[in-house]
Amino acid sequence: MIIARRRLLAAGLLGASSAALARPAGAVIVLDSTWRAEGGRPGRESAGFRAHIALAHQPQFAGVIAMSDDEGEIWGNASGTWIGNVDGHARILTAAHVFNRGGPADYYVYRTPGGMVRHGRRVVFHPLYNWKNSERTGYDFAVVELNRPITDAGTVPALYAGTKEMGTEVVMVGYGSRGIGSVGQRPIYYEGSDKAAATNTVDKIMTAVHPIPRGADEDAGNWLRVTLRRESQGASRLDGILGSGDSGGSTWLRTSDGWAICGINSNGSGETYGAPSYFARISGVRDWFADTVPGLRFVT
């Protein structure tokens, strides 16, 4: 199966191949009806995201952190998730495309949940990622080693290694711009530097393609997809999709062993009703994660 129509849009989900072009991460675009019910209206556009902010602040998502490319003047240029400490150094899971090809890790500073600032020491990219998300969305992974541990992010999260994502409700979490389904994202919908989250249901999976395709725009697979539907089409109250530059935030599902990270916010086409968002699939690269970060916990 080849899907070549997904592109990084200048007004859509950039997360550009050059980190200098990366847009604020963690954007969510939500249902108009929920936005209105939560207090959104002309003149109070940013007030309609209270439920989505509250969802992001549930304790299981405490490890989702903000990243800044200007030494903390603005937070949310990208998002990441703490996945544990190894030998006294935190490990942050994020998207590879928020970095220039080859790094460096200290392009960003990293804000812990308690407001402490950490610096990157080293970054490891998935070897199959090529900085072309039309081809390698499913391998858009980076793991950053920080200069110090993180101790204020709650319990170390598990990674999902199962194969039951299809038809499952997931929660995407991150920082950045916001919007509503009828018009898409706009600056008036966002203020501050807080994280927000949205739910949605996985409606398509592309498994990894082997051998890896080498032609231009041939999709290597290993991704999950959701689509922004209206309530009349079956959408849940807190449903949404990714917005501009929602890069590196994590996507979660609930298992019998608790919450686990099943994807990384990677790519999208459009920002209004009917638009899809794509996530690099954790379960397809379990071996790489196990080799890259000792001691990770996987659940199915």
Domain boundaries, the chain: 19-299
Q: What pLDDT score does 116 carry?
A: 96
The b-or-e profile of 135-150 (16+ CB within 10 A means b, else e) is bbbbbbbbbbbbbbbb
Q: What is the pLDDT of residues 248-276, one digit of tens each?
A: 999 999 999 999 999 999 988 889 999 99
Q: Which helix (H) or strand (E) holds 50?
A: helix 50-56
Q: What pLDDT score does 246 carry?
A: 61
- Checking if the pLDDT of 11 tops 70, the result is no
Q: Say whether pTM exceeds 0.95.
A: no
CA distance 287 to 94: 17
- Checking if the pLDDT of 14 tops 60, the result is no
Q: What is the pLDDT of residues 182-222, one digit of tens each?
A: 999 998 998 777 899 999 999 999 999 999 998 778 999 99
Output the average pLDDT for the chain: 89
Fold classified for 19-299: Thrombin, subunit H (2.40.10)
* DSSP codes, 212-268: PP-STT-----EEEEE---GGGT--TTBEEE-TT--S-EEEEEETTEEEEEEEEEEE
Q: What is the pLDDT of residues 127-180, one digit of tens each?
A: 999 999 989 999 999 999 999 999 999 999 999 999 999 999 999 999 878 999
Q: What is the pLDDT of residues 44-75, one digit of tens each?
A: 999 999 999 999 999 999 999 999 999 888 88
